[in-house]
Structures are given as structure tokens and as C-alpha cells.
Amino acid sequence: MKAYVKAGIKGFSGKLDGAIYYYHPRLKRTLMRRAPKMPIQPQNHAYRDISRQIKAINPSEAYRNDFRMYLNTLMERDDSVRLPSWYSLYIGMKPF
């Protein structure tokens, strides 16, 4: 897949030459990371299934906004917090 430019966004996203490019709206810049090269292992399939189930829950916009506000408060209180988005908090939640 080649990288492409989205209309209205100052940047492009996609995969190109072993790298992944994506636009981060909070930082207002395009970021690049190396594409992971991991061997396929049995636990990869279990992790994939869990990730799909978490994504299938599809929380409401109000729930997402709660996570965004919490993340902003957390980042204001502690400069060492380096979470990129609300979704990082959402997938890291632990059941009681």
C-alpha cells in the first residue's frame, strides 16, 4: 500500500518502504514509525481476537469524551504521562 494524502489534513498516512506514517491531531504533525517485524506465534492469534472484541464494544461518543477529559487532566497533573490518545487508556482498563 502506498502512502496517500487526505483532503483537509496537513499530512499523509499509510505504509511506505517499511515505515508507517500517520497524522496525530493533538500534536498537529505527521509521525513515522518502523513497521513491526514479529514472527507469528500462537499467542498472536489470541491477542488479535481480544483486540477485535475490545474494538467491537464501540463505546459512545460521551464515553470517549470522558476518557479524553481524564487524559487531559492526567497529562496536566503529571508531565511524565505519554499516552497518545483516549484509546490507549480504554484498552488498558482492567476489570474489577
Residue bearing the bigger pLDDT, 77 or 28:
77
With a cut of 60, say whether residue 9 has pLDDT above it.
Answer: no
- The tally of CA atoms less than 13 A away on the side-chain side of residue 78 is 7
Per-domain boundaries in the chain? 1-37, 40-96
Tens digit of each residue's pLDDT (9 = 90 or more) over 34-91: 888 878 888 988 888 988 998 899 989 999 999 999 989 988 998 888 888 888 888 8
Q: How far is CA 85 from CA 5, 12, 16, 21, 48, in A?
A: 22, 19, 24, 17, 20
